[in-house]
Structure 1
């Protein structure tokens, strides 16, 4: 076999390996995106304008959230103008923020408190959230707790949810203010 043939063969092998590597990278990217969408189908919160019946008053802002595959309502939002992921939790009294996000969200750790969670009693800390946004809704100066947790998921508790009208039908939740 000539030297030119060997070079061409090596070049062909390198191109073949690069093609397979690129295909593997694209498939990995696709399935990671799909997994993220399955976990949080509300990465872009769907907003509806609903006219108040029989009045000339301005319309009410409404959002619709889809359940994820586990049956939870997860949605993207913001705390202190930083992007976060919320898990709507009617069993949580306050917004609960994992301690790993304290610095990223510019939170001040306050008084130590005991928290009763599904996993038992844990030690947490009081804090204040300057602003919290979910779709078109923004709330200001909210009580929250910092809790030990391994995830970056923020529990959206009843101190926020009670300010809205929540309606669940099938696998969708409508939130109206």
Structure 2
């Protein structure tokens, strides 16, 4: 009986592993799941028959342990997408600014929790290198700090500070550049224009409207921002 229950548990594990392919052992996962369900019922009935000649209390205890384990595996298989999303949401709450991919009735989206400083920050990638952005709907375009520009591969010789821009601290000079790629979670844009601030004029890079306006939807809530590609 223990062997049969172990076999059922192994079959459920295979179902979970092969969820994306849709087939296990040459059978559709739905058919195999039905066989596992029938096998579980047969095991319960068989255990009752065998247990009639054994210690009933011990038999019931062992049977309940196996049933709980198998039901746990079955629940994990049925609700694995929801469980994964819940884990990602918790991770996003523990690490504000970390993009989390979620799904709802409107489709897939990227969720970003508000940082402890009260601002919406987003951990992104520019030209394949990590950049921590401040989401700024008041910025016309992406604005890179001088430090971030150098870290993603620009050199001083490439930066021509020919633009005059208005900032919260007054006018400043910036260098126009074009970025190969900008990614926030699963949302990626290529060939966006950006500016690079003079050294010491911008502490943190800004994710501006030329990225935000390219989205299907941008939702700013009390404690989170949602980006829809």
Shorter-chain TM-score bucket reads 0.5 to 0.7
- Alpha-carbon shift at residue 93 of structure 1 (Å): 0.4
- Which structure: greater strand fraction? 1
Change over 3 Å in CA distance of 1:88–1:124 after alignment to 2: same
- Deviation readout 1:33-81 (Å, 9 max, x if unpaired): xxxx99x6123x11112355xxxxxxx4301111112321101110000
- Using CA pairs under 8 Å that are at least 6 residues apart, name the structure with larger relative contact order, 1 or 2: 1
After TM superposition, the score normalised by the length of structure 1 is 0.67
Q: Matched residues in 1 for 2:203 and 2:166: separation? A: 19
Q: Matched residues in 1 for 2:168 and 2:197: separation? A: 13
Kept in 2, the 8 Å contact 1:84–1:153? The answer is no
Q: Which residue of 1 aligns with 2:101?
A: 47
Q: Secondary structure of 1:103's partner?
A: helix
Residue of 128, 134, 143 corresponding to 2:184: 134
Kept in 2, the 8 Å contact 1:61–1:136? The answer is no
Q: Determine whether 1:73 maps to 2:127.
A: no
Kept in 2, the 8 Å contact 1:77–1:132? The answer is yes
Gaps in structure 2 of 5+ consecutive residues: 1-91
Q: Determine whether 1:82 maps to 2:129.
A: yes
Residue of 138, 158, 170 corresponding to 1:120: 170
Q: Which has the larger radius of gyration?
A: 2
Q: Which residue of 2 aligns with 1:55?
A: none
The farther-off stretch of 72-81 and 105-114 is 105-114
- Deviation readout 1:117-169 (Å, 9 max, x if unpaired): 01100011101111001000110001000013466521000000111211122
Q: Matched residues in 2 for 1:100 and 1:79: separation? A: 13
Kept in 1, the 8 Å contact 2:178–2:193? The answer is yes
Q: Matched residues in 2 for 1:147 and 1:111: separation? A: 8
Change over 3 Å in CA distance of 1:170–1:127 after alignment to 2: same
Kept in 1, the 8 Å contact 2:179–2:193? The answer is yes
